[in-house]
Amino acid sequence: MSDAASEITRLRAALAASEARAEAAESELAQSRAVVSTSEAMIKHLRLEIAKLRREQYGHSSERRARLIDQMELQLEELEAAATEDEIAAEKVVKTTSVAGFERRRPARKPFPEHLPRERVVISAPTACSCCGSDRIVKMGEDITETLEVIPRQWKVIQTVREKFTCRACEKISQPPAPFHPTPRGWAGPNLLAMILFEKFGQHQPLNRQVERYAKEGVEVSLSTLADQVGACTVALEPIHALIRAHVLAAERLHGDDTTVPLLARGGTKTARLWTYVRDDRPFAGGAPPAALFYFSRDREMAHPNRHLAGWRGILQADAYGGYNDLYRGDRDPGPAGSALCWSHARRKFFELADIKGNVRKGKSAHDISPVALEAVARIDAIFDIERQINGHDATFRLEARHRLSCPLVEALHAWLRAEQGTMSKHNPVAKAINYMFKKDRWEAFTRFLEDGRVCLTNNAAERALRGVALGRKSWLFAGSERGGDRAAFMYSLIVTAKMNDVDPQAWLGDVLARLPGTTASRVPDLLPWNWSPTRQRIAT
């Protein structure tokens, strides 16, 4: 019996030792996972910092660098989340997760904004000393831990009551007049209408998805009802759009560009176009506020730019699309527009031939790049570096700096490109990139920035205005009709203009829809984004 007892004791000790070893192995594995995850996050963070520093030091040396930084930030988010999960798992296994010679640098959290309301939740104080049990305790201070929280969206119905009174003398009925509504069928408040418009055209959420979300929140609204309100708001906001259109077309220099928009047609979709014309005088310290004007068309015929800019005369900064050529004719009424071409488009053609990473990604050798294209990119980048230094100065300063710094580089580039072009076949891809700049006397349009300090080196202002449309195509898939495309262009003009003036589009639309019905025609300009100031009620809210 004693032998059996001793054997049981020995087995129990062996089992306990095995369990201890398993716990130690599990703890070591959890710590190792935390170290690996944190190390990956730190490496990614350092790479991201290096990429940002290189971009700040050398400028946009790669057109894909911005996208690469965005991708690295997304990967960093995932790695940080994974590292935190592994650290929590390690904490559950062991009491500490410290590792010799290693410490994870956590991101510094910014304090919460002061304008946010604070709700105090006071934990019940002890009634006796936790040490001796005495009830003679006195408050000596407090520790506060702040946690950011959000209140889910709340819906409410506003009842506007108009009391009626009768006169005992003449028996007439007196009643205050009915309030103005943003739309003729005023069942929706201005803030709700602004949210619907901004979700559809600013956040690219079609009405059917909004209807589904509202239903989950307990508010049943039909799709046709929302569509009816979108059309009514377009009519109500026409005075604002007309002022923005007049402001844009009063500019002496415009950026122009277009992008594709799928249009629902019989048997499928067809490729329509959304055009934009941007007034942005900030690069040369102009006093006019920035604004953007959008148009929609079923195709890309040159008749559309002629119609959009009928009666306008000035300098048009755009790409080399032939649809703008009628604007540059000498016999045009009221006169020819000046052409200023985009150097980013010209550089892009050389960059594609000198992109080492792009060639490797396509399965080509890294040595198959064109040295001529690489040299062209370097020469053009030197011109871009000068432009970054003078951006924001007045036109006179910019013109003087360009004559002194940029003009010699441009002349040298022209001579070098001509010399290289003479040694190549016309079918050479580099020769085609060079021919893009010299075809049909384009060089004069490319060098117009050397003659006018207001002209920008690129057409990036128009491309930035169209960026939201390019992102939204994946959400709304297509425009339902030509009227729908015109309505989208109308709303894009308002929303993009508000963003260019650092104004919250949804707050601005809500306030404008509330104030516009009771505003006289002479005070409508006060509601433009660059003149707008929120009402006291909105500030208080």
The ranges assigned to domains in the chain are: 2-93
- Find the mean pLDDT for residues 433-455: 93
> Predicted confidence band at 258 (pLDDT cuts at 50, 70, 90)?
very high
Beta bridge partners of 259: 274
Q: What is the pLDDT of residue 99?
A: 44
Would you say residue 532 has pLDDT above 90?
yes
Would you say residue 222 has pLDDT above 80?
yes
Would you say residue 185 has pLDDT above 80?
no
Q: Please give the DSSP secondary-structure letter assigned to residue 102.
A: B
What's the pLDDT tens digit per position in 30-76? 777 777 766 766 666 666 666 665 555 555 445 555 555 555 555 55
> Predicted confidence band at 501 (pLDDT cuts at 50, 70, 90)?
very high
3-state secondary structure (DSSP) of residue 364: coil
- Find the mean pLDDT for residues 164-173: 90
* This prediction's pTM: 0.76
Would you say residue 205 has pLDDT above 60?
yes
Which residues lie below 8 Å from residue 426, measured CB to CB, with a gap of 6+? 432, 435
What's the pLDDT tens digit per position in 104-148? 455 566 788 888 889 998 988 888 888 888 888 888 888 888 888
For residue 37, the number of C-alpha atoms closer than 13 Å in the C-beta half-sphere is 21
More confident residue, 156 or 150: 156
Q: Tell me the residue type at 473.
A: R
Q: What is the chain's length?
A: 541
Cα separation, 146 vs 113, in Å, equals 11
- Find the mean pLDDT for residues 238-249: 96
Q: What angle do CA 125, 129, 133 make, to 5 degrees?
A: 130
Q: Tell how far CA 393 is from the center of its chain.
A: 26
Other beta carbons within 10 angstroms of residue 206's beta carbon come to 15
- Find the mean pLDDT for residues 227-250: 93
Cα separation, 425 vs 417, in Å, equals 14
Would you say residue 523 has pLDDT above 60?
yes
Cα separation, 497 vs 246, in Å, equals 13
b/e per residue 128-162 (b: at least 16 CB within 10 A): eeeeeeeeeeeeeeeeeeeeeeeeeeeeeeeeeee
Cα separation, 248 vs 496, in Å, equals 13
Would you say residue 4 has pLDDT above 80?
no
